[in-house]
Amino acid sequence: MNPRDYLLESFSIAIKAADPAHIVPQYLPSPPKGRTLVVGAGKAAAAMALAVENSWPPDAPLDGLVITRYGHQLPTCRIKVVEAGHPIPDQNGEQASRHMLSAVKTLGAEDLLLCLLSGGGSSLLALPIDGISLHDLQQITHQLLCCGASIQEINTVRKHLSAIQGGKLAAACKAPIRALIISDVTGDEATHIASGPCTPDPTTFSDALAVLEHYHLNVPPPVKQKLLAGKNQQLDETPKPGSPIFTHVANKIIASAHQSLSAAADYFQRHQISALILGDTVTGESREIAKGYAALVKEIRFHPQSLKAPIALLSGGETTVTIKGEGRGGRNTEFLLSLLIELAGMEDVYALACDTDGIDGTENNAGAIITPDSLMRAKQLGLSAQILLDNNDTYTFFQQLNDLVITGPTYTNVNDFRVILIL
């Protein structure tokens, strides 16, 4: 098997380890005396809903609504699937979220709310609080995505501008709640996945304001006014840990980056390649993280001691990109191009970096692959790796080399998957 095949197969195995069709049925509760309402949001929401339908007793009441990203719909019968905007929220998401909240308020003590959450849910559950328009929410979301803020920081702001996130969905529900969650955030904290509609929120209005001030954002006046009002205790805070609201709520992480990385590590070991998981919570600027990994690769190549080739270095998490150029690309191609420049054509080193949802940023690729001859092939095409990196135009680089990894929607999301293969 050639190195490319090893990389692609390991990525496929990582995705399968987080497949809702196999995972969701293991965690489904028994039907209640009353009805079961299914709600949810995220890139895996349609696949999770379909898994529920396929496992739920046909004679037990079941209906609901989930929101997923455009292009991620699957054919369901009992649970409605609505497609909406991601990563920038849109009117479809706002309308569907409003319908969802209204439906939840109709449940009683003998019913069950089954909440299906995955990465992407934060933008899809687009229901701003009174006084904040969808346009305001779109503006601040765009700025947060471009400034290099972490997902935790972004979601801190989102929760305090939302009428449904930050535990507010749970607060509106009188029925027992079972939330099944596919984690796409470092640390697998449920409060940050889809911005925690069914979990306590430890952050405050003051925290949200601090994020906006730290990144010097041009905040729409209504947003600043609402956050200041909350800071001054003129608005109710989001429900906090210890609140009795959550006594009837059970949140369960059913898939995570660690599970997928472990599955990929087992794959390499079966092929007599050592595997080292460097962590599933890697954060920071993509190009800078790549430089650190390049240093480790050089150490293994030139000073092999405890770590020796052949070896696969695996990692997950969610890096960030501070956009300063005008090009196309996501955090995974940004990581790879920076890594490629640092390795400078080192022999027998290959790498793949992809988002497990099949979308790197907003492009049609999951990520890309680099090989020892990538720089040479780029020069033959007249491409400057450094110029394209400086312009955040990493998609163009790998597109020209025909080294993009394009999977289409994977219907799951456990964040980034990176593997550096040293032979």
Q: How confident is the model at residue 356 (pLDDT cuts 50, 70, 90)?
A: very high
Mean pLDDT across the chain, nearest whole number? Answer: 96
Phi/psi at 130 (5° precision) = -55, 135
Q: How confident is the model at residue 305 (pLDDT cuts 50, 70, 90)?
A: confident
C-alpha 347: how far from its chain's center?
Answer: 33
Q: What is the pLDDT of residues 225-273, one digit of tens each?
A: 999 999 999 999 999 999 999 999 999 999 999 999 999 999 999 999 9
C-alpha 354: how far from its chain's center?
Answer: 12
Q: Given this model, what pLDDT does residue 185 score? A: 87
Three-class secondary structure of residue 60 per DSSP: coil
The Cβ of residue 95 has, within 10 Å, a number of other Cβ atoms equal to: 16
Task: Fill in the DSSP letter of residue 313.
Answer: E
Strands 177-182 and 349-355: unpaired
Helices (H) and strands (E) in the chain, counts: 16, 12
Query: Alpha-carbon dihedral of residues 115, 116, 120, 123, nearest 10 degrees?
Result: -20
Q: How confident is the model at residue 288 (pLDDT cuts 50, 70, 90)?
A: very high
Q: Given this model, what pLDDT does residue 306 score? A: 78
**Spatial CA neighbour of 421 closest among 272, 275, 208:** 275
Contact 39, 115 (CB under 8 A): yes
Three-state secondary structure along 106-155?
CCCCCCEEEEEECCCHHHHCCCECCCCCHHHHHHHHHHHHHCCCCHHHHH
Residue 354 buriedness (CB in 10 A; 0-12 / 13-18 / 19+):
buried
Contact 284, 56 (CB under 8 A): no
- For tokens 């719909």, what's the residue? 73
The Cβ of residue 165 has, within 10 Å, a number of other Cβ atoms equal to: 28
CATH 3.40.50.10180 fits 19-127+162-203+238-255, yes or no: yes
- For tokens 């080292």, what's the residue? 276
Across the range 207-219, mean pLDDT stands at: 96
Q: How confident is the model at residue 336 (pLDDT cuts 50, 70, 90)?
A: very high
Three-class secondary structure of residue 164 per DSSP: coil
- For tokens 């596919």, what's the residue? 182
Across the range 29-39, mean pLDDT stands at: 97
For residue 148, is pLDDT > 90? no
CATH code for 257-422?
A: 3.40.1480.10
Sheet containing 177-182, strands listed edge to edge, beginning at the edge strand earlier in sequence: 79-84, 63-69, 36-41, 112-117, 177-182, 249-255
Tell whether the torsion through CA atoms of 220, 223, 226 and 229 is positive or negative.
negative
Q: Given this model, what pLDDT does residue 328 score? A: 94
Q: How confident is the model at residue 186 (pLDDT cuts 50, 70, 90)?
A: confident
Phi/psi at 395 (5° precision) = -60, -45
Percent of the chain with pLDDT strictly greater than 70: 100
Spatial separation of the C-alpha atoms in residues 75 and 47, rounded to whole Å:
9
Across the range 23-38, mean pLDDT stands at: 97
Across the range 117-138, mean pLDDT stands at: 96
Ranges of each domain in the chain = 19-127+162-203+238-255, 257-422
* Lookup: tokens for 11: 């990525």
For residue 1, is pLDDT > 80? no
Strands 112-117 and 36-41: parallel
Count the residues in the chain.
423
Task: Fill in the DSSP letter of residue 248.
Answer: G
Spatial separation of the C-alpha atoms in residues 128 and 399, rounded to whole Å:
38
